[in-house]
Structures are given as structure tokens and as C-alpha cells.
Amino acid sequence: MDIQSISTEAQREAILVNFDKKGWDEKKQEYVGIVENLKPEDPFEFLAKLYNVPKPETLIEYVDEFGRTRLIGPGEKARRDAEQEETRQLLLKFDQGEHFDEPAQPLHYEADREIRNKGVGFFLFSKDEQERQRQMRALDELRNNTVEQRKKALIGKEQKRLRAQSRMALIQARRKKYETNLSRGHD
């Protein structure tokens, strides 16, 4: 049966269903029932039934892990307390493992634990402390020698510059003398 074949408008309205209106009518009836059963002096109860919110005396203040104060129901509070207790028990369980007293050793960089190119200036120190100290002394001696050589090279470079400067001054003096002699001879 086609909708165009129905003759009157009233018959068409009777057959067609407006689902939007139907949904609103059902909700309206639900709210009307709630409103009629409430006393006008208790607005919180109206909202509690409307949105399924527990009464304020059943809500508990709770401080969460970020320090925020929240209102939660008693069931949620029990669940959070159980989670905290379980976490605490696990921490205690795994913290009670055997601990061996290890001699206090200075912790040094362990290069063999890293997989990477260390570069030209890399020096792999020994894990034995005495050998490590010997290597450190040798490295300090090399450094001191290098600093001393650099100072000597810098002093030598400065002396060479001063010698070149004095030689240039001598050459300029000779040239000036020669030029003055030439200028006197032509006059």
C-alpha cells in the first residue's frame, strides 16, 4: 500500500508515526511523573531522581592522587581504598626482598654498556680502582706535558714574531737611509 493512495489527511496522520514527537512524549511523561511525586520544598530530590545522583549525605569527600578534593559515592571510595591497599601490599612484598650489603664503591661511567661511537679523544678507564688511579695519573701527566708544550710553542711563536718585526725595522731603516742618500745625490 502506497502512502499516496490513502485518500484523506486524517488517515495519513493515523498511519504515519512521528518518532521525534513520540520520544519527547515519553520523556515528558517520565518527568511529569517525577515532578508530581515531589514536594515543592525539596529541589535536590527532584534533581537527584532526574539525573540519578545520590543524596549529598551519601557523598564522601576524597582527595585524589593529584591533591584535588572530589565528592564520590561510598562504592567508589571503597574501590579506591582497595586499590591503594593493594598497591601498598605490592610495594611491601617486593621491597622485602633480600638485600646484600655491597661495599661502597664509587660509581664511574661504564663505557662498555653503551653501544655508540665514542670518538677520537675517548679513553676507556679500568674498572679496578688502583689501575684506574694509575691511568688517571698518567693521563694528568700527558695533559700537563701538552700544556707545557703549548706554552713553549706559543713563546717560540712570539719570539719569532719579534725577530721578524726587528728585522723589518732594520730593513726599513736601511731603505730610508738609501733613499735619503739617493735624494741628496741627485740634488
Q: What pLDDT sits at residue 148?
A: 97
Which residue from 7, 27, 3, 26 is spatially nearest to 16, judged by alpha carbons? Answer: 3
- Residue 48 and residue 50: Cα distance in Å, rounded? 5
Residue 145 has pLDDT above 80, yes or no: yes
Can you give the pTM of this predicted structure? 0.36
pLDDT digits 0-9 by tens, 71-92: 888 888 888 889 989 988 888 8
Instruction: Report d(CA 33, CA 89) in Å as an integer.
Output: 50
